[in-house]
Structure 1
Amino acid sequence: MPITIADVAARAKVSKTTVSRVLNGKGELDETTAARVRAVIEELGYVPSARAVNLARGRTRVVGMLVPSLTWPWMGEVLQGAVDVLEAENYGLLLFTCNRGDDSMRQFAAQVAAKSFDGLLVIEPEGTLDYIANLHARGLPMVLIDDRDQISGGSIPTVGTTNHTGAADAAHHLLGIGRHKPLVITGPSRFGCTQQRTDGFLSVYADAGIPLSADRVMLGDFKVGCGVDNIRQAIETGIEFDAVFCHNDLSAFGAMQAIQESGRSVPGDVAVVGFDDIPMAAHAKPALTTVHQPLREMGEAAARTLLAHFEGAPLPNRPTIIPATFTVRDSTAA
């Protein structure tokens, strides 16, 4: 049987509280007593539970992470970035998803109440921002990955990317290859990134003397189906287009599918650009030109920010922005 703190206390003829104080260096102890306890610990080969020691010190050395679902195609990159930083500093990760809706959030709330982790990384699940902001206001250290906190006025520290500039780069590229009749398939309007990507793209075309009419900006939901449906609708209504800028890669895959099904070619008839640069983008047919989000770097930066706070650094009061880059592939090749 494993040696317990009770065994040490009995052999040293002290209380378990005294043994705990010796282990954690807390409280004033008679040096003779402390030496006797340390000798018994060595004699018995007692190894204290890391979790018990950390809890006694008021720390778990565990970081929580709340995400909508692990099925999001870029989630793995963000997670890996966070885990790389946490493991290097001997922290664990406690991962929560919202796959079961309210049941998932009740389970998460129970872990918050039990103080099972020292701080929280968040990719905000749908409809939870008010609850998350309340946890932050009550003192739970956290960092939001992506830009959802813009909706709550920027109260939570955030790590994001250059959505506006990335979309502007896409527009400059399409103009550079002579595409003057683009469609835009957006993300959900409630997301800050959707507005930034729309503004960045439209401003470049407007500055070039080619303002885009409202019917060329089509609402999407970041899924393959919205790319398919919006392209079919544009063809049915007779909108002429020679390019499509999609706010994520999945909708770009759908757009390419619908374009090719209509008998048109990509990129010959229609050039297509996505956003994210998920691993599948390089293997699409044709390979997808896209704005590369620094997903792993965003996970790393968020984790570093939280760990620095544990060591006494204040949480930043402005977003941490990691620039996006532009990756040209076959879907826009001349």
Structure 2
Amino acid sequence: MARVTIAQVAAAAGVSKASASRALNDHPDVGAATVERVRAAADRLGYVPSASAVRLARGSQRTIGMLVPSLAWPWMLEVLGGIATEAEAQGYALVLQTLLRGDQSLASFVRQVESSAIDGVVAIEPPGGLAELRDLHVRRGFPVVMIDDRVSRPDYPSVATTNERGAYEVAAHLADVGAQRIGVITGPADFTFCAERDRGWRRALAERDLTLREDLVLRTDMSEPEAYQATGELLSRCAGLDTILAVGDMVALGALRMLRDKGVRVPDDVRVAGFDDIPAAALAVPPLTTVRQPMYRMGEAAARLLVDLIGGADPPTGPRIIPTELVIRESSTR
């Protein structure tokens, strides 16, 4: 289907092409009624501004943004490192915006976008999404690349990893070395990666005639303290528990701490596996079997894709996938 043009929007709204362009780019010399009429026509026709047209209208600052919920996530600095490296190589400065102050942080970011201080953004979006970010991208043509969020909000170009395949591989490994009574410590159901990893675990176990007991699948906020408590709950619910699958390495570290406090030997009594391969995973006692999530490479790929979009490239038809890798260490092998 051919892209709807600004000329078609202008004709539908009964204004000149220049007026339509100014209305869609929030120029102050356009009346509110005209802006409303032009935007209504754009919505009706399905008009999406091209990134190159937006760049020409706004001017380029050669600056990209990174929008993240928090820097506390253990792999966040790897993502940031990949983005920063690629941005610098492409001649772009990087502006970091967290959402620690909620709406205030978001309003600050939107002001920077509206003042033409940022040419595009790589985002790790919080659960529930950000209506403002979608408005900037879909209605105004602002270039956005999402990291690891291709299922719940497919409107954005994205860079993702093989969550389901990675979970399948680690669960298959555990089953192949003797797992029978398996507990799972996962995260919120509305987190896309949690759903993908859950599908991977279940598929691998089902293919090996193993079934997860639903009372042994516990949801947490994925913090180490909650994982610690959840591990105690798993031990009380299943006296013969022999395996714990953790949705992330911080969760697995909480499990290891509880098992150590209870005098449970790893991996002799209970095997443990995580996901992410954060630096602490290799330093755990015993070192943690996990799935390496290529966060640095994902950051590089996201920045490279964003720069292409800022330059006017067409959005990709699907996510750019950077594969995971199973890392087997002593926490799962006897």
TM-score, structure 1 length as denominator? 0.80
CA–CA separation in structure 1 for the residues paired with 2:118 and 2:58: 13
- Going from structure 1 to structure 2, the CA distance change for 1:239 and 1:105 (only over 3 Å counts) comes to farther
1:99-158 Cα shifts (integer Å, max 9, x gaps)? 2222211211211211111111001134443322222112110100112x5223x11111
1:171-221 Cα shifts (integer Å, max 9, x gaps)? 111012111111111121101111110111011111111122211211122
* 1:20 paired residue number: none
SS state of the match for residue 228, structure 1?
helix
Asked whether the equivalents of residues 59 and 116 of structure 2 are also in contact (C-alpha less than 8 Å), the reply is: no
CA–CA separation in structure 1 for the residues paired with 2:81 and 2:162: 21
Q: Does 1:301 align with 2:301?
A: yes
CA–CA separation in structure 1 for the residues paired with 2:128 and 2:135: 13
Higher relative contact order (CA 8 A, sep 6+): 2
- Going from structure 1 to structure 2, the CA distance change for 1:93 and 1:55 (only over 3 Å counts) comes to farther
Asked whether the equivalents of residues 186 and 217 of structure 2 are also in contact (C-alpha less than 8 Å), the reply is: yes
Asked whether the equivalents of residues 127 and 190 of structure 2 are also in contact (C-alpha less than 8 Å), the reply is: no
SS state of the match for residue 81, structure 2?
helix
CA–CA separation in structure 2 for the residues paired with 1:252 and 1:121: 29
Asked whether the equivalents of residues 165 and 200 of structure 2 are also in contact (C-alpha less than 8 Å), the reply is: yes
CA–CA separation in structure 1 for the residues paired with 2:207 and 2:57: 61
* 2:191 paired residue number: 191
Structure 2: gaps of 5 or more residues: 1-54
* 2:167 paired residue number: 167
CA–CA separation in structure 2 for the residues paired with 1:330 and 1:157: 38
SS state of the match for residue 276, structure 1?
coil
Q: Greater shift after overlay, 211-220 or 276-285?
A: 211-220
Q: In structure 2, what residue type is equivalent to 1:225? A: P
CA–CA separation in structure 2 for the residues paired with 1:231 and 1:103: 37
Number of residue pairs the alignment of both structures matches: 279
CA–CA separation in structure 1 for the residues paired with 2:132 and 2:111: 14
Asked whether the equivalents of residues 67 and 98 of structure 2 are also in contact (C-alpha less than 8 Å), the reply is: yes
1:247-269 Cα shifts (integer Å, max 9, x gaps)? 10001000111111111111111
5 Å matches for 1:1-334?
A: 58-138=59-139, 139-147=141-149, 149-152=150-153, 154-334=154-334
TM-score, structure 2 length as denominator? 0.80
- Going from structure 1 to structure 2, the CA distance change for 1:85 and 1:114 (only over 3 Å counts) comes to same
CA deviation after TM superposition for structure 1 residue 166, in Å = 0.3
Identity rate, percent: 42
CA–CA separation in structure 1 for the residues paired with 2:152 and 2:56: 35
Cα-Cα RMSD: 1.7
Structure 1: gaps of 5 or more residues: 1-53
Q: Whose radius of gyration is greater, 1 or 2?
A: 1
CA–CA separation in structure 2 for the residues paired with 1:322 and 1:221: 26
